[in-house]
Amino acid sequence: MTTTSAPLAASSSFEKRDGFLSRIADPTFNIVTVGLLLLAAAAIIYPLYFIVIASVSDPNLIAQGKVWLFPQGFTLEGYETLFKNDALVRGFGNSLLYTGVGTLVSVSIILCTGYALSRRDMPGRNFFMILFIITMFFDGGLIARYLVVRDLGLLNTMWAVILPGAVGVWNLIIARTFFETNVPAELREAAQIDGANDFRFFFKVALPLTKPLIALMAMTHIVAYWNSYFDAMIYLNDESMYPLQLVLRNVLIQSQASASLDTGSIDSYAAAQRLGELIKYGMIVVSTVPLLIIFPFLQKYFVKGATLGALK
């Protein structure tokens, strides 16, 4: 009787101790986790907030470290200078056009190609996949790309900005993995029994299951096309076709050049430098706000698509 009750008492004491430790550990863990997440959020959000308040603050006060939480020496001079430039509005429209058409073209190609490569009955799919992967490691270089674009007659056209980078191999791999994981062959066989051909299955069955993937691809390419300026700088000669990023880059360079060439007086040079700083901060805000508006609507699908497409 005594020997039997001793192990029971010991196990009961262990359970009480483990329960006590778990009650202590859970709140501590939650506090530490929430604290770390708050620090990470502050490290991400504060720089964006600082750019916004700096764009309407006196650059001299910013340089003196007096701008922390609220604008100091409020001014809209930088934004006024930016929006007085007619090229800014035109560049904004061009960026919207390039981003919309480019995203549509890229997502369409990636979805179709990714689905085709996910089909195990596709002849030579491994060979084509190897060809795509090779392009991730070997590149002909800028001169070769320029010659190809020139020979295709795409110079100084919208397609020179869109087509050279329309397909990202990494996104293609994610799309292929997504289709292999979430669109089983049994589903296609069932659709074929019901009389659906490959095209009908892809558009009626496969695509409706890929909303997270479509959101992921769309968001990736929206950000890429919106922030792109190098291809436009290389392939476009007509300033009326420049995207927003290239227009903002030219405005900043011109403001800096005018400041460096201004030899009238120290005051005028300082004023030009001050305006250049305001323009720099205003440029960041103007070019970032559209993405900040779009991203919350796609965030749920973006995270889900990234998770499902990256796992098999």
Other beta carbons less than 10 A from residue 266's beta carbon: 9
Are 296 and 255 found together in one domain?
A: yes
The domain tally of the chain equals 2
| Whether 118 contacts 183, CB under 8 Å | yes
Are 102 and 183 found together in one domain?
A: yes
Other beta carbons less than 10 A from residue 236's beta carbon: 20
Domain of residue 24: give its range: 2-54
pLDDT computed for residue 14 by the predictor: 47
Are 145 and 20 found together in one domain?
A: no
Q: Evaluate whether residue 275 is within a structural domain.
A: yes
pLDDT computed for residue 137 by the predictor: 85
Q: What are the strands, taking DSSP E only, across 51-195?
A: none
Cα 248 to Cα 127: distance, rounded to the nearest angstrom: 43
Are 216 and 98 found together in one domain?
A: yes
Q: Evaluate whether residue 190 is within a structural domain.
A: yes
Cα 136 to Cα 168: distance, rounded to the nearest angstrom: 9
- CATH number reported for the structural domain that contains residue 150 in this entry: 1.10.3720.10
- CA-CA-CA-CA torsion for 236, 239, 243, 246, nearest 10 degrees? 90
Are 157 and 248 found together in one domain?
A: yes
Q: Evaluate whether residue 70 is within a structural domain.
A: no
Are 166 and 38 found together in one domain?
A: no
| Whether 215 contacts 305, CB under 8 Å | yes
Are 81 and 40 found together in one domain?
A: no
pLDDT computed for residue 1 by the predictor: 46
pLDDT computed for residue 187 by the predictor: 83
Q: Evaluate whether residue 300 is within a structural domain.
A: yes
Are 9 and 152 found together in one domain?
A: no
Proportion of the chain in helix, strand, coil states, percent, rounded to 5: 80, 0, 20
pLDDT computed for residue 166 by the predictor: 87
Q: Evaluate whether residue 63 is within a structural domain.
A: no
Give me 54's structure tokens.
């700096």
Q: What is the mean pLDDT of each run of 10 residues along the chain (312 residues)?
A: 48 52 64 87 86 84 80 82 80 90 93 89 87 85 88 90 88 88 82 82 85 85 88 88 85 66 58 74 82 74 56 45
| Whether 115 contacts 202, CB under 8 Å | yes
Are 149 and 184 found together in one domain?
A: yes
pLDDT computed for residue 312 by the predictor: 43
Q: Global pTM?
A: 0.75
Are 253 and 125 found together in one domain?
A: yes
pLDDT computed for residue 80 by the predictor: 82
Cα 214 to Cα 54: distance, rounded to the nearest angstrom: 36
pLDDT computed for residue 283 by the predictor: 80
Are 104 and 39 found together in one domain?
A: no
- Residue 205's φ and ψ, nearest 5 degrees, are -115, -50
pLDDT computed for residue 70 by the predictor: 84
pLDDT computed for residue 10 by the predictor: 46
Are 7 and 106 found together in one domain?
A: no
Q: Evaluate whether residue 61 is within a structural domain.
A: no
Q: Evaluate whether residue 59 is within a structural domain.
A: no
Q: Evaluate whether residue 65 is within a structural domain.
A: no
pLDDT computed for residue 245 by the predictor: 86
Cα 96 to Cα 213: distance, rounded to the nearest angstrom: 22
pLDDT computed for residue 98 by the predictor: 93
